[in-house]
Amino acid sequence: MPHMAPAALVDHYLGISRLLAGQLDFRSAIRAVAAEIAHIIPHDHLDVCILIVDGNYHTAYETGMDTAWGNAASAPVVNSPIRSLLWGEVDYLLTDDAINDARFHFEGAFKRPIIEQSLRSRLHVPLKVQGAIIAAFSCSSQSPGVYGMEHVDRARIIADLLAPYFFALRAAEQAQQSAIVEAEARAREEGLRQGALKLTEALEQERQRIGMDLHDQTLADLTRLARRVDRLARSGELTSEALEPVSRGLQHCMQDLRQIIEQAKPSVLQLFGLAQAIENHLDRSVRDSNTPVEWAIVDETAGALDTLEPTVSVALFRIAQEAINNAVRHAQPLAITVRLRAEAKQLALEITDDGRGLARSRGRVGGGIDNMKTRARLISAKFVIGPGRNNRGTTVTVSLPLERDAEIAAMGQEDRQ
């Protein structure tokens, strides 16, 4: 590069400062000053590598060439080819041929762009604020032997110009991320609060329903039976024939009580697990409907269901119960399929029917769906309801993040199979 007069260099340094003004993000800032920097230091590739707050990770913003460095959202500093600079072990890095320089090729080094883009000449200096390294400024050329100590001095001046601006951008980005996290946390907290209120109301309605069932049905039947037994006792006609209607009535009461208890407490779930409880409810619901509905349950979780907390299992069962009831009562389906899957670090529960669909199934919207949404929200699950396959029927899907111990259990179960 021809020798440049000091006045010309100063003009280019001032140009960098002017171009930085008004840039609101790292990528636009580095691209805005790239041409001005090229007058000072020739390069084919230019990047600024920003340290994330904890100092263990970094992310690169580049121009001139798109490489794997710029495409990575973040990467461990320990794998960076310039980690010695980022750690403050050296004050600069300068090489005539990075492809053959052992400093860039230690075990685990993220060096692929050096090879793929043939980045031979490389120059790196730190960006510092109050003595602390916040980033690294890097210039690379595909030609060997391009840079010398003169370019190191120029790079340091450029780094001093960039450092306060990039420090401010990093602080603004961190503040924005903190605000987003805080807002999301508040939204989740409010959502859970509202969900808990709705579920409490639903539980209170369910309690009142059970009370009315017991009062209007079972208690009334038992009262009539008690009066009949009392009349028979006074008349002295306690024969087997006279007691036969009483026995029949008691059996009906017991059957009604079993049904109320079954609806209130999913005992099959506690004894045999989620898949068996859903299968039991699906079978009983179809039989009680007296309609020819084909049904199937497919468990593809490889044992992951066994790791769920009891409260999570109950919530998933109640959602499946409500979805099945809606399908049987309102959709007039020919088939209902329940599928349980464990994949991509999540557990999915899917209930599909081929009935009339939401738009045409009166009664399928309202409290039942709200309760399903609330139950899903309270276990941090995603709830989706919409058309089934080929726009036929309805599909209810609940996706739950799979805990690490559940993943391990699932993998262990697969190994045993």
Q: Higher-confidence residue: 68 or 226?
A: 68
Instruction: Provide the percentage of residues in the chain whose pLDDT is more than 70.
Output: 82
Tell me, what's the pLDDT at 197? 67
Average pLDDT for 342-357:
89
**Count of C-beta atoms within a 10 Å radius of residue 240:** 7
Residue 19 has pLDDT above 90, yes or no: no
Q: What is the pLDDT of residues 224-277, one digit of tens each?
A: 777 777 777 777 776 777 777 777 777 777 777 766 666 665 566 777 889 988
Residue 289 has pLDDT above 90, yes or no: no
Average pLDDT for 386-403:
86
- The DSSP secondary structure of 286-346, one letter per residue, reads HHHHTS--EEEEEEESTTGGGGS-HHHHHHHHHHHHHHHHHIIIII--SEEEEEEEEETTE
Q: What is the pLDDT of residues 89-118, one digit of tens each?
A: 999 999 999 999 999 999 999 999 999 999
- The DSSP secondary structure of 194-247, one letter per residue, reads HHHHHHHHHHHHHHHHHHHHIIIIIIHHHHHHHHHHHHHHHHT---HHHHHHHH
Average pLDDT for 208-222:
67
Tell me, what's the pLDDT at 267? 62
Residue 84 has pLDDT above 70, yes or no: yes
pTM to 2 decimal places:
0.46
Residue 330 has pLDDT above 90, yes or no: no
Tell me, what's the pLDDT at 417? 40
Tell me, what's the pLDDT at 411? 39
In angstroms, the CA 328 to CA 77 distance is 57
- Judge residue 291's burial from the number of C-beta atoms within 10 Å of its C-beta, 0-12 exposed, 13-18 middle, 19 or more buried: exposed
Residue 123 has pLDDT above 80, yes or no: yes
In angstroms, the CA 331 to CA 393 distance is 8
Q: What is the pLDDT of residues 143-193, one digit of tens each?
A: 999 999 999 999 999 999 888 888 888 777 777 767 776 777 777 677 667
Q: Higher-confidence residue: 363 or 263?
A: 263
Distant-in-sequence, close-in-space partners of 289: CB < 8 Å, separation ≥ 6: 328, 329
Q: Which of 41-50, 235-244, 304-313 has the highest mean pLDDT?
A: 41-50
Task: Report residue 414's pLDDT band, with 50, 70 and 90 as the boundaries.
Answer: very low
Rounded to the nearest integer, the mean pLDDT of the chain is 82
Residue 20 has pLDDT above 60, yes or no: yes
Q: Which of 55-64, 347-356, 363-372 has the highest mean pLDDT?
A: 347-356
Residue 136 has pLDDT above 80, yes or no: yes
Average pLDDT for 51-55:
78
Residue 360 has pLDDT above 70, yes or no: no
Residue 283 has pLDDT above 80, yes or no: yes
